[in-house]
Structure 1
Amino acid sequence: MRGKAEITFGRDRLAHLFQQAPLRALFPTPPDGEPPQAALVTTSGGLAGGDRLDLSVTVDDGGAGLVVASAAEKIYRSTGPDTEVEIALAAGSGSWLEFLPQETIAFDGSRLRRTTRLDLAADARALAGEMLVFGRTARGERLSHGLLRDAWDVRRDGRLIWADALHLDGDIAAKLDAPAGFDGANACATLVLAAPAPERLRDLIRDGLADYDGRAGATVVAGLVIARWLDRDAARLRKSFGAAWAMLRHEAAGLPRRLPRLWEI
């Protein structure tokens, strides 16, 4: 099964759309003060070994757009083949791009290879992230074996400025439990922000994490704000991640301090 979607936002509206099942995009009417929005849906209900999704999101020069997932993405157990997800994000000159997926839940025995590429014009602003849950924790399941590779590649004016990859295979449970590894965490998250005054925005994230009971931090790398979360409680991580997101979109882009309605369902 191979799904594909191409979404391009112009200055104030959708400029291009191509979609191929099981990846679909819906376009809810945005609330006042919000940019055009697209809601992603995987109509198959999840991804299995051998499946592939290709998603391309572009915001043209001077435009703005928000892409949000309609629900958590489930990666089912595989007998061998990998599940592949390729995400290509591009923000043109003077644009604002917001890419807000919900959790990706890696079932025990699943095999996921995902790459997110973010291409920024010199003065583009963008907010992108991801959350991973290691197993169906609500059912007492934990990811113990399989493959989980989640890579990022961020470029500014065509020049690589940040790359990162999480790679777990073999005895994954041991790595998740290792004190020098994930120290028993059941979920993790990454947030990437490209905007002016990154040091100020980093400090705002840190201030918001002061009372957080999980493990989290924020730093600035090559002008990007990078924030990370680790937690034994996926719901608590999601709440903290969402609070940081709402704050940052307001501070970095002047947008309302709120999350899309789909996030709250």
Structure 2
Amino acid sequence: MSLPLPRHQRAHGRAELGFVHTQRGTVLKHLYNAAPLRVLFPTPEPDDVPLAALVNVGGGLAGGDSLEVSVRLEAGAGATVTTPAAEKVYRSAGDITRLDTALEIGPGATLEWLPQETILFDGARLERRMQARLAPGARLLAAEMLVYGRVARGERLGHGALFDSWRLWRDGRLHWADAMELGGDLATPLRSPFGFGGAEASALLLLSAGQDAALAARDLLRQQGFDATLPRPGLMLARWLGPAGAVRESVARALPMLRADALGLPARLPRLWTS
């Protein structure tokens, strides 16, 4: 007599956020969250936009878990969405961990999407999809960072799977698309000089704004020694590969400069990045 294999409990969290611009400034219009995802609202600095923090109360994600996030800003609104800590993706027995994000930014609205890093444990299997839709005059400043293994413990990502996809629409038309896929033996491409060159982490910083703002942001980052480019009109990209600490430090240096130069916001990181 053979017994059926046990079925593991899976977590499927969801968060929905909606902001609207009023005479009092930007205020929350819609909120929904389902465990293990919760949304907290730390008090922002008096001169800053509303701040929302996405919290995974489960402490990490296993194979078969999923998180869905939807953020909508109506015309003229401004907000920052971040996380209080790094997200951890644990080793999987075979199932995929899924992270799906949908951003909708109305005319003249400004959204900062600034989660802290995602750490891939050895054996993790992650599928992450980002979709952002920008109306005329909308602005998006976004940063995401991946760490390949628990580097603080000396662990490097050796096997597993990663699919990371970005789709950005502006004025109803696809403006930029990007994807990365790795599977099976991950140690080889991560070590290869023609791949990741032994990097512990990678990061992407994106600014979608007007052409003048994107051009000024590119020049500003280049003046600070960062690699930045304009793959499309009005879209600035910067990427980093290297030691996990150095990559995070570079992103943390670049963000305040872009907040001030491109968005007219205070030159500071979200408080949760430094607390």
Shorter-chain TM range is: over 0.9
Question: Which of these residues, 215, 240, 245, is aligned with residue 229 of structure 1?
Answer: 240
**CA deviation after TM superposition for structure 1 residue 111, in Å:** 0.3
Answer whether contact 1:147 1:170 (CA < 8 A) is retained. Answer: yes
CA distance in 2, matches of 1:157, 1:53: 27
Paired residues, what number? 258
**CA deviation after TM superposition for structure 1 residue 16, in Å:** 0.5
Equivalences for residues 135-174 of structure 1 within 5 A: 135-174=149-188
CA distance in 2, matches of 1:250, 1:60: 22
Equivalences for residues 19-168 of structure 1 within 5 A: 19-168=33-182
Answer whether contact 1:9 1:36 (CA < 8 A) is retained. Answer: no
Answer whether contact 1:8 1:16 (CA < 8 A) is retained. Answer: yes
TM-score where L is the length of structure 1: 0.96
Describe the superposition over 1:72-127 as per-residue Cα deviations: whole angstroms up to 9, x where unpaired.
00000001000001000111000100010101000000000000111101210110
**CA deviation after TM superposition for structure 1 residue 164, in Å:** 0.5
Stretches (4+) displaced over 6 A: none
CA distance in 1, matches of 2:216, 2:111: 20
Amino acid paired to 2:117: E
- Name the counterpart of 1:194: 208
Question: Which of these residues, 239, 256, 259, is aligned with residue 249 of structure 1?
Answer: 259
**CA deviation after TM superposition for structure 1 residue 9, in Å:** 1.1
- The percentage of counterpart residues that share the same residue type is 53
Amino acid paired to 2:240: W
CA distance in 2, matches of 1:85, 1:68: 15
**CA deviation after TM superposition for structure 1 residue 221, in Å:** 1.8
Partner SS for 2:175: strand
Answer whether contact 1:84 1:114 (CA < 8 A) is retained. Answer: yes
Q: Which has the larger radius of gyration?
A: 2
- Name the counterpart of 1:259: 269
Partner SS for 1:108: coil
Amino acid paired to 2:223: D
CA distance in 1, matches of 2:104, 2:111: 8
- Name the counterpart of 1:16: 30
**CA deviation after TM superposition for structure 1 residue 171, in Å:** 1.2
Equivalences for residues 174-193 of structure 1 within 5 A: 174-193=188-207
**CA deviation after TM superposition for structure 1 residue 235, in Å:** 1.1
CA distance in 2, matches of 1:92, 1:192: 18
- Name the counterpart of 1:213: none
TM-score where L is the length of structure 2: 0.92
Measured on the aligned residues, the alpha-carbon RMSD in Å equals 0.8
Amino acid paired to 1:4: R
Unaligned 5+ segments in structure 1 are 211-215
Amino acid paired to 2:139: R
